Amino acid sequence: MVIIIIGTIRSDESHVRSDQPQADGVIGMYAIGGAVGATFYLEPSATADVDIFVMLPTAPGSSLLSVSPIYDYLRARGCRIEGERIVVGDWPVQFLPPHGALEQEALAAAAETEVEGVRTWVLSAEHLVAIALQTGRAKDYARIVQFLEQGAVDAGKLNGVLKKHGLMSQWEKFKRKYLQE
Amino acid sequence: MDDKERRRRLASLPFSEKLKILEKLRDRSRAIAASGLRKTVRQEPEQAPNNAKSKP
């Protein structure tokens, strides 16, 4: 099991090896989301940070999930905290435990890939679109339009995800407003 | 090359290549932010002070 931390993975300074946190049991399954995740399917577009959805193991004797073990782990290896993010290499990274059924499913269905010989996971195009729709900021809608314009989503799979998670009415509204259907 | 073709070509690059482009875009955004170029709106007083001299 591996975690990709962009910037560090390509850095010759191995103060954090990209595959260590997961291998050491600090985190469970993870996948890249947000703009960096979208870049797996689309042309690159500027973003300031990296969102990583991550399944956090619960501490023995506790039902609480916390990202602090990840931050502690990385801080001990020279990474610095900037607000809600931790800067790894040159990238501010935010670790996000999945909230709700959609994000949990997205994490479980993440696509496996490899970056410079390191195994990593990226949320599926359909889940990225569904999460963007659910989040509903202007930049999320713009990203959905990019996915559709570039034919980067499987319409059948997307409809399945949207129906399953009760997002059809939002989807219809989105289409009326932005796709002029 | 038209815009559609350029986007299609960029989208078809390997992920690792795209990550390098993302890093360049991020660094450029940071450089622009640091240069103050984004502060395009100058704070002008609504009225010139009484002792202000008008430009020729």
CB A103 within 8 A of CB A75: no
**Residue B23: Cβ within 10 Å count:** 17
pLDDT value at position B53? 41
- Supply the pLDDT for residue A62: 65
Judged by DSSP in three states, A33 sits in: strand
Per-residue pLDDT reduced to its tens digit, A47-93: 999 999 988 766 666 666 777 878 888 888 888 999 889 898 888 99
Residue of A4, A11, A43 to mutate, testing the B interface (most B Cβ within 10 Å of its Cβ): A43
What pLDDT is attached to residue B40?
59
pLDDT tens digits, residue range A85-131? Answer: 989 888 899 989 999 999 999 999 999 988 877 878 999 999 999 99
pLDDT in tens, B2-24: 888 899 999 999 998 999 999 99
Whether B19 and A42 lie within 8 Å, measured CB to CB: no
pLDDT in tens, A150-179: 999 999 999 999 999 999 999 999 999 998
ipTM score assigned to the predicted complex: 0.80
A132 contacts A126 by C-beta, under 8 angstroms: no
Q: What pTM was computed for the model?
A: 0.81
Nearest to A44 among B8, B25, B29 (CB): B25
Query: Minimal Cα–Cα distance from A96 to chain B, Å?
Result: 20
What pLDDT is attached to residue B52? 42
Question: Coil, strand or helix: which one is B40?
Answer: coil
Amino acid at A59: A
In DSSP terms, A119 is beta-bridged to: A114
Angstrom distance (rounded) from CA A42 to CA A163? 24
Looking at residue A110, its pLDDT comes to: 95
Of A45, A48, A116, the CB nearest to B16: A116
Contacts of A91 in chain B (CB under 8 A): 26
Report the alpha-carbon distance of residue A78 to residue A10 in Å, rounded: 16
What are the pLDDT digits (tens) for A22-43?
Answer: 656 667 788 999 999 999 999 9
CB distance from A91 to chain B under 8 Å? yes
Radius of gyration of chain B from its Cα atoms, rounded to whole angstroms: 22
Q: What is the DSSP letter of A178?
A: I
pLDDT band at B49 (very low <50, low <70, confident <90, very high): very low
